[in-house]
């Protein structure tokens, strides 16, 4: 039986970033996925993902996203277009979590941005119905990653660097001891020196001790031909305390709009399809903020968030098995970081010192018993 330096379970964005980084470091790496990425069963689909630096979630992510920008640019130089700059506008109460958080990240890391009052927002984007007591922060460099193309680029580059990728093969379990790890799939058993678990919404089936919640999200695309990226930026709007609605400009298939979080708990593989109540909730918010995008429905899709209680990532060695690295769950905001998180994961799996500090993403903050 051939032995690998590392097996990566899950080839979505995080696993794709990890398998690429491992292969580029010269490791003999095997990547496994129960489906054939890109697919629509997890968290790495939906045409586009946001990339931004004025990061309202926490300033600690800014160095990581800057590294990701560099790595996406390297990948794009080798193949198809992977992202488009559009700018991003964060809206809400000036003291609210989104706007205050974006402002803190922008100021702490010298992110190029503009702070705008409601009148200035309406003057620049008159189609936005911004209340007088709200304000905005505009980040010029932000843009959209093309999700499926990005994932294909990560996996394609990994394959070119020597990674072995096996899809349509579900993992049933794993074990680890002082000599290495074993991974059992529905077909066979694999042996390796190290293991990376990047299974997205299936992580809870493979990793005990993490209090995870898989959340069903619904994304809609509405006809809005006048709201292309030349005119309309990405918008993230905190319309009530802790409640965020986002939309992206029309790239030819409609304005993409969704509520960030607020979804029901779901089990991977048994997710309820989009329904009329999902569309009604999204349209109600569009009518308040951007009536010009309240056109005919083009498409609706589900996506899964795998959430930790504090909304931050897990990128760390398993507390009970030093040869096992747990990668993410991303809590609904991880795609943009994929190649940079992949480097962190690869360094941990190979026993190297990461260039960026993974301490904020420690497994131990959730470990039980």
Per the DSSP assignment, residues forming a β-bridge with 258 are 246
CB atoms within 10 A of CB 93: 17
For residue 358, the SS3 value is coil
Residues in the chain: 369
Which positions ≥6 away from 68 have C-beta within 8 Å? 51, 336, 337, 338, 339, 340, 341
The overall longest dimension of the chain from CA atoms, in Å, is 67
How far is 51 from 66, CA to CA, in rounded Å? 10
Which positions ≥6 away from 30 have C-beta within 8 Å? 4, 6, 7, 8, 163, 164, 165, 166, 190, 192
How far is 222 from 208, CA to CA, in rounded Å? 40
First-residue to last-residue Cα distance in the chain = 36
How far is 149 from 48, CA to CA, in rounded Å? 9
Beta-carbon-side half-sphere exposure of residue 20 (alpha carbons within 13 Å): 25
Q: Which residues are catalytic?
A: 45, 48-49, 256, 260, 303, 336
How far is 353 from 75, CA to CA, in rounded Å? 24
| CA 120 to chain centroid | 31
Give the burial class of 245: count Cβ atoms within 10 A of its Cβ; 0-12 exposed, 13-18 middle, 19 or more buried: buried
CA 81 → CA 88, 127, 145, 232, distances in Å? Answer: 19, 29, 9, 20
CA 368 → CA 205, 210, 271, 317, distances in Å? Answer: 16, 8, 28, 15
């Amino acid at each position: 039986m051939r032995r690998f330096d590392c097996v990566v379970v899950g080839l979505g964005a995080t696993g794709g970033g990890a398998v690429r980084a491992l292969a580029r470091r010269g490791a003999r790496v095997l990547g496994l996925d129960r489906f054939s990425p890109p697919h629509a069963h997890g968290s790495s689909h939906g045409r586009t993902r946001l990339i931004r630096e004025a990061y309202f979630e926490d300033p600690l992510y800014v160095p990581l996203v800057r590294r990701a920008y560099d790595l996406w640019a390297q990948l794009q130089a080798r193949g198809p277009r992977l992202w488009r700059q559009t700018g991003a506008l964060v809206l809400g109460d000036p003291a609210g979590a989104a706007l205050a958080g974006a402002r803190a990240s922008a100021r702490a890391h010298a992110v190029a941005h503009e702070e705008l009052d409601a009148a200035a927002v309406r003057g620049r984007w008159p189609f936005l119905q911004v209340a007088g007591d709200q304000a905005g922060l505009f980040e010029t460099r932000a843009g959209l990653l093309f999700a499926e193309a990005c994932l294909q680029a990560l996996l394609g580059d990994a394959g070119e660097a020597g990674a072995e990728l096996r899809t349509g093969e579900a993992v049933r379990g794993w074990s680890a001891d002082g000599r290495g790890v074993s991974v059992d799939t529905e077909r066979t058993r694999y042996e390796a020196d190290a293991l990376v678990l990047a299974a997205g919404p299936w992580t809870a089936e493979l990793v005990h001790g993490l209090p995870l919640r898989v959340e069903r999200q619904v994304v809609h695309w509405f006809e809005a031909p006048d709201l292309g990226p030349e005119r309309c930026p990405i918008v993230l709007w905190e319309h009530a305390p802790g409640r965020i609605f986002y939309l992206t400009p029309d790239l030819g298939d409609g304005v993409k709009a969704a509520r960030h979080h607020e979804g029901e708990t779901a089990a991977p593989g048994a997710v309820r399809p989009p329904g009329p109540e999902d569309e009604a909730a999204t349209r109600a918010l569009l009518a308040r903020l951007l009536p010009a995008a309240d056109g005919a429905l083009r498409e609706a899709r589900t996506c899964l968030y795998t959430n930790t209680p504090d909304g931050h990532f897990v990128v760390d060695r398993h507390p009970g098995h030093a040869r096992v690295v747990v990668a993410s769950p991303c809590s609904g905001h991880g795609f943009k970081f994929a190649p940079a998180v992949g480097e962190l994961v690869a360094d941990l799996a190979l026993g190297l010192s990461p260039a960026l500090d993974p301490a904020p993403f420690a497994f131990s903050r959730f470990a039980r018993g």
